[in-house]
Amino acid sequence: MGKVHRYQGATGGESAPAGEGYHGDCRDRSWRSFCWALVHLPQQSLNSLSIAPPANRTPLVQSIPGLQSTITNWTEPLPGPMQGRSSVIDGDTVEIAGQRIRFNGIDAPESRQYCDDAKGFEYPCGRRAAQALDEFLAASRPLRCSFVDRDRYGRLVGNCQRADARSVQRWLVEQGLALVWPRYSNGAFAAEKGSAKAAHRGVWQGRFDQPWDWRAANAEKVEVVSEPSAGFGLLGSGCNIKGNISAEGERIYHVPAQKFYSATKITETKRERWFCSEAEAVAAGWRKARR
């Protein structure tokens, strides 16, 4: 993951959409003066300056302010190892001291993604992965990560382990909570994948879409998680609408401000589920609780 744009990140699919950004490498000699100008010239000059990229390179199509931020991420040296208490953002992303960290070489189901269990029933595999990760990390703190790259959203990409030295990525893949991402794994975690698949653990118990394929087909449901949170991640906010099924079989959803929200329990084996928005709940056939 040493090259610019080599690690595209988990949001938006395996590759950047056509026309997004440009595809130069600021570590490449032919790009250095171009990148230096964009990073170091005053904003006032940049707004009025027209800079042609090196010969035979893809033209610049991103806005100057956005490109400045992106190139700063690309050219900025990676920090040394980081250690601290982590907050789970999703099944393959955490935050330490306000810094988003994407696990290297793996890809977990998205927070709104559903998979089929062994009986063919849908369950929220993305949320399940995030919840399991949260419990795993809480059992041996702090988390320690060393970095290999930044993704296209500016997140650090790293290899992380708990205080007891257990690899987070290996555990996630072994439990079937995340998949090996062949494009970036360089052959790592093959044994863990084989173990999970043979034992039908996690997503391997039934049918599922590979996360990068699910993102490509569900771009409108994908959440960009590059911005630091206000102190909590997916488990503390976001997909927190409860889709309950009453004794009469009526599908009713509850939002946090409602009277019976706290008392409502979600039993996934009864096909009850969580939603990330009221629109999603309505589209799935649930109605809002009256109070």
Give one DSSP letter per residue of 61-87, joined into a string: -S-HHHHHHHHHHHHSPPP--EEE-EE
What value does the mean pLDDT take over residues 8-20? Answer: 41
Confidence of residue 49 (pLDDT cuts 50, 70, 90): very low
Facing residues of 95 across strands? 87, 100
Q: Which domain holds residue 178?
A: 82-221
What value does the mean pLDDT take over residues 61-70? Answer: 50
**Predicted TM-score of the model (pTM):** 0.62
On whether both 89 and 213 belong to a single domain, the answer is yes
Look at residue 21 and tell me if it is in a domain: no
User: Which secondary-structure segment (H or E) carries 148?
Assistant: strand 143-150
On whether both 248 and 217 belong to a single domain, the answer is no
Other beta carbons less than 10 A from residue 69's beta carbon: 14
Pair of tokens at residue 233: 């991640």
Give one DSSP letter per residue of 232-259, joined into a string: --GGGSSS-EEEEE-TT--EEEE-TTST
What value does the mean pLDDT take over residues 12-28? Answer: 39
201: CATH: 2.40.50.90
225/283: higher pLDDT: 283
Confidence of residue 48 (pLDDT cuts 50, 70, 90): very low
On whether both 114 and 216 belong to a single domain, the answer is yes
On whether both 89 and 177 belong to a single domain, the answer is yes
Residue 99 confidence (pLDDT): 86
